[in-house]
Amino acid sequence: MSDTDTLSQHTGHVDTLNLTVSLCLCYTLCIALTRLWIRRGAFGFDDVVVLIATLVTLGHTGTSYAALAYGLGEPWSEISNSGKLPELNNVGLNDAASS
């Protein structure tokens, strides 16, 4: 048995990124809904800013999930060999354009 057989193989960061994006989405929605509940009936300009920021965050979260579907977080060897790079690049460019 060689040394490489006993070493763990790096499988990428897909699960970590998925958890992080999901936690950020939950945090964003909880804060926005809590603010909405606390401020019910007394909305101001700051609430409009929070609404716009929440919508931008939801768009960013959606493109992050799309990027995960196209290979974000996978090892470079898997991305380059699978031919997913152009799609992943397009998702990244769409996210940059929407932010």
The boundaries of the domain holding residue 55 are: 13-98
Is 4 within the bounds of a domain? no
Gap between the Cα atoms of 19 and 62, Å rounded: 14
> How many whole angstroms separate alpha carbon 20 and alpha carbon 97?
22
Is residue 72 domain-resident? yes
Q: Does residue 55 lie within any of the structural domains?
A: yes
Whole-structure pTM value: 0.74
Q: Could you write out the DSSP letters of every residue in 44-95? A: -HHHHHHHHHHHHHHHHHHHHHHHHHTTTTS-HHHHHHHT-HHHHHHHHHHH
Distance from C-alpha of 62 to C-alpha of 93, rounded to nearest angstrom: 13
Question: Is 3 contained in some domain?
Answer: no
Domain total of the chain? 1
Tell whether 1 is covered by a domain: no
Residue at 6 is within a domain: no
Per-residue pLDDT tens listing for the chain (99 residues): 455 555 566 677 888 999 999 999 999 999 999 999 998 888 889 889 999 999 999 999 998 998 898 888 888 888 878 877 888 888 766 666 655
Structure tokens at 68: 């995960």
60, two tokens: 């960013």
